[in-house]
């Protein structure tokens, strides 16, 4: 069994385990199982190892360096957001750990933007008509992403403003996240990645967006809605990490085993 197959099996087992823990706690109205934090973090570490395992099978040295750096900061961010915030829940330290995690994820999105924008910049369209189609698609994608984000900011501004300096950090991260998703879908049109790899990047970043929407919505929802959205966070986050990690490995297409 290759490492990638071992990683997939391990992630499926761990995913089933922590989802069962989380939803049992939600439905039974118990506090979250403390072992769930560590099981989730193991998934993060396995995905990070997949990204680092690419080596000679990577798409390009630059792509590998950016992806490895991104997952290094993902591991740091999740340690603060998942492990430490979980352990020190409802304490004064939780907000500080949460802020550090968000800052680390901000770096993650910057690195992913650089990675995926490279695919857009390297694209050489064969004709003027193709260039127009590509530009149109990118503009449409940008409007579809940024317009709802702007509307949501205006609608929820009274709730956002009370967060103080953390609102500024959150809005910067939100802008970078939307830009990262836009760049990921722009990579589908680019030429750096194959169709399979670019779709993994685009779908992975879309799951990332859904995950963060669930996290952000917990600031505005109450009672059972918070429980539902908290249970959905890792349902989106796990495939996001896995797809982004695998997207850096060229051997997916060479072996044809996935």
Domains of the chain by residue range: 3-255
| Alpha carbon distance 245, 134 (integer Å) | 26
| Alpha carbon distance 240, 208 (integer Å) | 5
Which residue shows structure tokens 């490995």? 249
pLDDT at 252: 45
| Residue 2: CA count within 13 A, CB half-sphere | 10
pTM: 0.85
Q: What is the CA radius of gyration of the chain?
A: 19
Residue 55 DSSP label: G
Residues in the chain: 258
DSSP structure string for 157-171: HHHHHTTTHHHHHHH
Residue 195 CB neighbour total at 10 angstroms = 9
pLDDT at 253: 44
Are the beta carbons of 221 and 151 closer than 8 angstroms?
Answer: no
pLDDT at 28: 77
Structure tokens at 138: 């990118």
Q: Which stretches in the chain have pLDDT values below 50? A: 1, 56, 252-258
| Alpha carbon distance 15, 234 (integer Å) | 8
Q: Which residues pair with 108 in a beta bridge?
A: none
pLDDT at 131: 62
pLDDT at 88: 85
């Amino acid at each position: 069994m290759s490492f990638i197959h071992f990683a997939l099996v391990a992630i499926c087992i761990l995913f089933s385990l922590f989802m069962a823990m989380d939803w049992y706690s939600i439905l039974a109205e118990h506090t979250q199982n403390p072992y769930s934090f560590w099981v989730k973090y193991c998934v993060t570490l396995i995905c990070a190892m997949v990204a680092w395992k690419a080596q000679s099978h990577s798409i390009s040295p630059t792509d590998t360096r950016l992806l490895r750096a991104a997952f290094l900061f993902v591991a740091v961010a999740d340690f603060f957001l998942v492990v430490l915030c979980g352990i020190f829940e409802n304490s004064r330290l939780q907000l500080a750990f949460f802020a550090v995690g968000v800052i680390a994820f901000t770096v993650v999105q910057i690195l992913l933007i650089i990675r995926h924008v490279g695919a857009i910049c390297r694209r050489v369209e064969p004709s003027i008509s193709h260039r127009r189609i590509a530009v149109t698609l990118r503009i449409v994608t940008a409007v579809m992403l940024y317009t709802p984000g702007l509307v949501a900011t205006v609608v929820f501004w009274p709730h956002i403003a009370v967060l103080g300096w953390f609102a500024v950090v959150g809005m910067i991260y939100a802008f970078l996240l939307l830009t990262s998703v836009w760049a990921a879908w722009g990579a589908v049109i680019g030429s750096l990645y194959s169709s399979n790899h670019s779709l993994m990047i685009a779908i992975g970043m879309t799951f990332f967006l859904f995950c963060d929407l669930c996290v952000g919505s917990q600031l505005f929802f109450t009672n059972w809605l918070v429980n539902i959205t908290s249970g959905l966070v890792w349902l989106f986050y796990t495939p996001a990490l896995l797809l982004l990690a695998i997207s850096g490995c060229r051997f997916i297409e060479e072996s044809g085993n996935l």
